[in-house]
A = this chain, B = another copy of it.
Amino acid sequence: MAIGRSTQSTSQTPDAGAARRPSRARGIPEATVARLPLYLRALTALSERSVPTVSSEELAAAAGVNSAKLRKDFSYLGSYGTRGVGYDVEYLVYQISRELGLTQDWPVVIVGIGNLGHALANYGGFASRGFRVAALLDADPAVVGSSAAGLPVRHMDELEAIVESQQVSIGVITTPPGAAQQVCDRLVEAGVTSILNFAPTVLTVPDGVDVRKVDLSIELQILAFHEQRKAGEEPDRGDSVLDRAPGPVRAAAAKLRRAAGGTAKAEPAKGGKPAKGTEGDLSAVMPA
């Protein structure tokens, strides 16, 4: 095993860096791990509707994946299905939850309480899966003392004490990019070993610390890439879709789409280099 400092990979890629190594410890591929939460969400919805069993075909459709892939994924967890019948919903919810570690309580700290920090503090999807917000932290005295999601915002100075006393092992960084590495270092030093980074910065962490990155602008850029391609291909793709469209509604929509966002996009609106300067700036998300 390599010792030293490693950098995280983007969450968008299944790039299994050193920090992601443990995933294959019991033989579960990283790609499968990334899909388990999707299955869990679909299963939880079925559970709430009191559906007792589900086939791989049905569940795959609900989760938006191929059924062969789903069965292959589940085979890494064990044989939890019944041939000719399907999977027991409740049992599978439990097994996947256990596999993901969601049957235990995970205290997390959120550092940087701007709009995004607020949004995350309020996010219902956390609490329902065993993630408990142990503390909200901010460096700005104007924000410290206010409250979000019913919790007081505390000062960064308290970070170490909170992490230690509440045994926090997961930290969420929603600071401006300039502060992210420094915050990350303090979190790691205090004992945090998993970091979810929303700041558009590559974080450097020691071996044994996991970093996952959520980058809002990268997702839009990837969409723009494909959108650009669509505009270029429009004469072909648009027409073929239109010709075989299943109904008048679809046809009208496609026509409208072409008119509104189609070939006009093929000509760049700006000729030269793109604007620079506010590179990856999250500070607007933060309080002044």
Instruction: Give A residues with C-beta under 8 Å from B.
Output: 1, 3-4, 7-15, 20, 22-23, 25-26, 31, 33-38, 40-42, 44-45, 47-48, 61-65, 90, 93-94, 97-106, 108, 114-116, 118-120, 122-131, 149, 163-164, 167-170, 172, 188-196, 200, 202, 206-208, 210, 212, 214-230, 233, 237-238, 240-241, 244-246, 249-250, 253-254, 256-257, 259-261, 264-265, 268-285
Contact = CB atoms under 8 A, between A and B. Distances in A.
Copies in the complex: 2
Name the prevailing secondary structure of the A interface residues. Answer: helix
A229 B101 CA distance: 9
Contact of A279 (B41, B194, B215, B285): B41
A169 to B, nearest CB: 4
Contact of A281 (B128, B238, B245): B128
A59 to B, nearest CB: 12
Closest 10 CB pairs of A and B: A124-B281, A101-B228, A169-B261, A115-B119, A125-B217, A7-B64, A122-B284, A191-B260, A116-B119, A128-B278
Contacts of A10: 34-35, 38, 64
B11 A217 contact: no
Given A97-B273, A191-B259, 17 more contacts: A7-B64, A13-B14, A33-B222, A34-B218, A64-B202, A103-B268, A104-B228, A118-B119, A125-B216, A128-B278, A129-B274, A130-B224, A131-B224, A169-B257, A172-B220, A191-B261, A207-B241
Interface centre among A7, A225, A240 (most CB of B within 10 A): A225
A125 B48 CA distance: 39
A200 B129 CA distance: 13
Interface centre among A106, A149, A260 (most CB of B within 10 A): A260
Contacts of A20: 226
